[in-house]
Amino acid sequence: MHFELTQRYRSSAADVIDAYADPELYPTLVGLPKLGGLEVLSSERTADSATLRIRFRFTGHLPGAVTAVIDADKLTWVQETSHDLGSGSTTFVLKPDHYPDRLKASGTFRVVADGDGARRTVTGDLKVRAPLVGGKVEQAIVSGLEEYLTAEAPAVDAYLGA
């Protein structure tokens, strides 16, 4: 499933780019919908790039047909991101802790100036291999991601003091 989601921020593009490359941001993102258990596993930063590894847990509701074949408690993954701080572009790949043969996701996000603030567009591809319910799981994950990102933008602005 291909997806494209957009977030808007009151903060400047430069500040938003810097925030997502900062491992200190992620512990402040607790309590947001659908995704939780954020844990920064590693981070490295140079003057013009950053890489982070962050563990996430899907905490949204899944239909009974889905939970019959997928244990919702095992929907955890590590998001590996590579940030180009100069261009505002980031690539990401999700590496499942469980079901590595059933879940693949990767993509990019880009932060650009938008009026007095910034806009981040997240584009990616998600594939869940599960007989009969793979499409439903993909829809649930993307829907949860959209809800999470909608709540995340104001939390990032708050982190930045905007």
Quick one: pLDDT at residue 31?
86
Q: How far is CA 102 from CA 78, 110, 128, 131, in A?
A: 15, 27, 5, 10
On the question of pLDDT at 159 being above 80, the answer is: yes
- Residue whose C-alpha is closest to residue 129's, from 102, 150, 155: 102
Confidence of residue 136 (pLDDT cuts 50, 70, 90): confident
Summarised one tens digit per residue, pLDDT across range 73-93 is 888 899 999 999 999 999 999
> Under a CB-based contact definition with an 8 Å cutoff, are residues 38 and 27 in contact?
yes
Per-residue CA distances from 17 to 21, 22, 57, 87, 104 (Å) = 7, 9, 23, 9, 25
Smallest CA-to-CA distance from 145 within 52, 7, 18 is with: 7
List of domains in the chain: 2-160 (3.30.530.20)
- Distance between CA atoms of residues 162 and 47, nearest Å: 24
CA distance 71 to 28: 27
Of the pLDDT bands very low, low, confident and very high (cuts 50, 70, 90), residue 130 is confident
Average pLDDT over residues 90-118: 94
Q: Provide the pLDDT confidence category of residue 47 given band limits of 50, 70 and 90.
A: very high
The predicted structure's pLDDT at residue 61? 75
- Sole residue written with tokens 């499933």: 1
CB–CB of 1/144 below 8 Å? no
| Torsion of the alpha carbons at 72, 150, 152 and 67, rounded to the nearest 10 | 0
DSSP string covering 12-79, please? -HHHHHHHHT-TTTGGG-TT-SSEEEEEEEEEEE-SSEEEEEEEEEE-S---HHHHTTS-GGG-EEEE
The pTM (predicted TM-score) of the whole model is: 0.89
